[in-house]
Amino acid sequence: MSSDFEGYEQDFAVLTAEITNKIARVPRLPPDEKKQMVANVEKQLEEAKELLEQMDLEVREIPPQSRGMYSNRMRSYKQEMGKLETDFKRSRIAYSDEVRNELLGDDGNSSENQRAHLLDNTERLERSSRRLEAGYQIAVETEQIGQEMLENLSHDREKIQRARERLRETDANLGKSSRVLTGMLRR
């Protein structure tokens, strides 16, 4: 059983070395060859996954006493596979960016134009933010002034009501005084 596993290990090592070599070459190839290389790497990644599955099945059949060593190897192979897939995705992203730039006719100036455009938009946002803050400050000040005016009007109303009450009292007193004087005159 372990001989099958070791055979799979050798196949996996050869395959991963080929994949790593091809992934490193992808960015430097002409567009037509890149497409072929990407398709080839995808096929080899699938083969490597199948080899890992076969190796995993072999590990499950190994007696529990010696399974630990093989399980550790499997873990490292799976990590290596994950790293290969990540590297391949990165090379594909670089490849797709190049293809996009070719299709759109982008060149190095577009990133400078985008940068200038972003800086301009950032400045506009900052100006708008400052205007909003100034407007907010004015609204807060207006609210404070309005509150103070309402308090002043409330005090003035109380004064007017007290003055009106005094006038009524004075009027009532004048009325009593007038009756008293009228009564005195009659006598």
Residue 137 CA neighbour count, 13 Å, CB half? 6
pLDDT, residue 43, reads 92
169 has pLDDT over 90:
yes
What pLDDT digit, counting tens, does each position of 41-72 carry? 899 999 999 999 998 888 888 888 888 888 88
Q: Could you tell me which CATH class the domain 3-103 is placed in?
A: mainly alpha
State both tokens at 134: 């100034």
Q: How confident is the model at residue 150 (pLDDT cuts 50, 70, 90)?
A: very high
Domain ranges of the chain: 3-103
State both tokens at 182: 């009228």
Residue 15 sits at the vertex; the CA angle it makes with 95 and 32, to the nearest 5 degrees, is 30
pLDDT, residue 7, reads 87
User: Beta-carbon neighbour count of residue 144 at 10 Å?
Assistant: 10
pLDDT, residue 109, reads 59
What pLDDT digit, counting tens, does each position of 5-51 carry? 788 889 989 999 998 888 888 777 777 788 888 889 899 999 999 99
pLDDT, residue 163, reads 94
pLDDT, residue 62, reads 83
Residue 144 CA neighbour count, 13 Å, CB half? 6
